[in-house]
């Protein structure tokens, strides 16, 4: 599946980036943001009509926004439920509990 098809909040691994579908400048910028095979990605927010606008996603520890067309050039596979459930908690959050509202 392509990144734009991934459900929001569902972590995935980048399998392949179709660099030839992007301009050299766009490809370079995505590489600088950490878009590469093997990186973990998660969609945080979709903007625009019918989700065809910008996509905000987390790649590694960085949060970026990219156009829908760029997300369609990134092939991913979602991580299994067990991998998501056992993912390590960032050290700064270990043992912290959010206050009840």
Per residue in 15-61, pLDDT (tens digit) is: 999 999 999 999 999 999 999 999 999 999 998 776 678 999 999 88
98: in domain = no
CATH of the domain at 78: 2.30.30.90
Q: Is residue 101 part of a domain?
A: no
For residue 83, is pLDDT > 90?
A: no
Contact residues for 7 (Cβ-Cβ < 8 A; gap 6+): 43, 78
| Containing structural domain, residue 41 | 3-86
59 part of a folded domain? yes
Residue 93: inside a domain: no
Domains: count for the chain: 1
Give the span between the Cα atoms of 20 and 27, in whole angstroms.
Answer: 9
Residue predicted with more confidence, 97 or 9? 9
- Full-model pTM: 0.74
Count of CB atoms situated within 10 Å of the CB of 38: 7
11 pLDDT above the threshold of 90: yes
* Residue 9: strand, helix, or coil: coil
């270990």: which residue's tokens?
Answer: 94
74 neighbors 22 (Cβ within 8 angstroms): no
Rounded Cα gap, residues 40 and 79, in angstroms: 9
């Amino acid at each position: 599946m392509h990144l734009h098809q991934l459900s929001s909040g569902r972590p995935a691994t980048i399998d392949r980036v179709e660099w030839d579908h992007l301009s050299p400048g766009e490809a370079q910028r995505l590489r600088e943001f950490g878009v590469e095979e093997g990186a973990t990605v998660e969609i945080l927010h979709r903007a625009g009509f019918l989700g065809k606008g910008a996509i905000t996603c987390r790649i590694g520890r960085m949060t970026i926004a990219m156009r829908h067309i760029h997300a369609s050039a990134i092939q991913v596979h979602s991580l299994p439920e067990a991998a998501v459930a056992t993912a390590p908690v960032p050290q700064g959050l270990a043992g912290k509990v959010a206050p009840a509202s």
